[in-house]
Structure 1
Amino acid sequence: MKNALLYVLLLATLLPTVSQWGTIAYYHANKAYIARVLCENRDKPDLHCNGQCYLAKRLKAQQDKQDKETTERVQNMPVLHLFYAASERFLFAPDWCEQLLTALPVYRFPAYNTPTAGLFRPPQV
C-alpha cells in the first residue's frame, strides 16, 4: 500500500515534466502520419520539416498553458504576513528630560578581566 502511494505521489510530482516528453514520444511514434496529414509544410518537401512545425507548435502551446496556470496560481495565492512592523511615531523627549538625564550620574561598569591568564600555560612535567 505504501509503495502504491509512493508511486502515485511520484507520478503526480513528475507529471508536468512527463507531459512534454509524452508529446515528443507521440511525435516520434506518429511521425509519418504527422508529416503526411498534420504538417503545415507538407506541400513543401524541400524544407524537410517532417512535422517538426507541428511538434514545436504543440510544445509551445503546452508551455503557454503551463505558464498561464502558474501565473494564475501565484496571483490567487493568499499572502501570509509573517512579520508585523508597528508604525509608531517617535516622540522626542522634552528639554527637561534631557537636562535630568545629563544631571544624573552614569553608572560605569568596572573593567572586566577574564581569568584565562592562569589557565593557558604549558603543562609542567
Structure 2
Amino acid sequence: MRNALLYLLLFATLLPTVSQWGTIAYYQVNKAYIARVLCENRNKPQLHCDGQCYLAKRLKAQQDRQDKETTQRVQNIAPIQLFCESGLQFTFGAPAKVGQQPVYRYVLAHYSAPSSSLLRPPGLLV
C-alpha cells in the first residue's frame, strides 16, 4: 500500500515534465498518420516536414497552457505577513524643562525566549 502511494505521489509530481515527453511519444508513434492527415505542409513534400509543424504547435500550445496555469496559481496566492507590530506601544512624555526635546519611549510586549533545549549545538547531550 505504501509503495503504491509512493509511486502515485511520484507520478503526480513528475506529470508536468512527463506531459511534453508524452506529446513527443504520441508524435513518434503516429508519425505517418500525422504527416499524411494533420500536417499543414502535406501538399509540399519537398519541405520534408513529416508532421513536425503539428508537433511544434502542440508543444507550443501545451507550454502556453502550463504558463497560464502557473500565472493563475501565483496570482491567487494570498500574501504572507512577515512582521506584526501589534505589541509595540509608544508613549510620549512631557519635556522635563522648557526648551528641551520631548522624551519618546516605546514599550515592547512581553517576550519569552524559546526553550533552551531547542537551541543547543549538535553533539552536546545533557
Q: Fold match, TM over 0.5? A: yes
Select the structure that is richer in strand.
2
Letter in 1 for 2:69: E
Deviations along 1:27-79, one digit per CA (max 9) or x if unpaired, are 00000000000000000111110000000000000000000000000001111
Query: C-alpha separation between the residues in 2 aligned to 1:88 and 1:53?
Result: 67
User: When the two structures are aligned, how many residues end up with a matched partner?
Assistant: 100
Residue 84 of structure 1: how far off its partner (Å): 3.3
- Deviant stretches of 4+, over 3 Å: 84-89, 93-99
Give aligned-pair identity as a percent: 73
Query: C-alpha separation between the residues in 1 aligned to 2:7 and 2:68?
Result: 28
Q: Establish whether residue 23 from structure 1 lines up as the match of residue 23 from structure 2.
A: yes
Q: Which has the larger radius of gyration?
A: 1
Letter in 1 for 2:20: Q
Coordinate RMSD, CA, aligned: 2.8
Q: Establish whether residue 39 from structure 1 lines up as the match of residue 39 from structure 2.
A: yes
Letter in 2 for 1:60: K
Cross-structure match for 2:12: 12
Unaligned runs of 5+ in 2: 102-126
Letter in 1 for 2:32: A
Residue 83 of structure 1: how far off its partner (Å): 1.5
Cross-structure match for 1:80: 80
Unaligned runs of 5+ in 1: 100-125
**Whose relative contact order is higher, 1 or 2, with alpha carbons under 8 Å and at least 6 apart?**
1
Cross-structure match for 1:55: 55
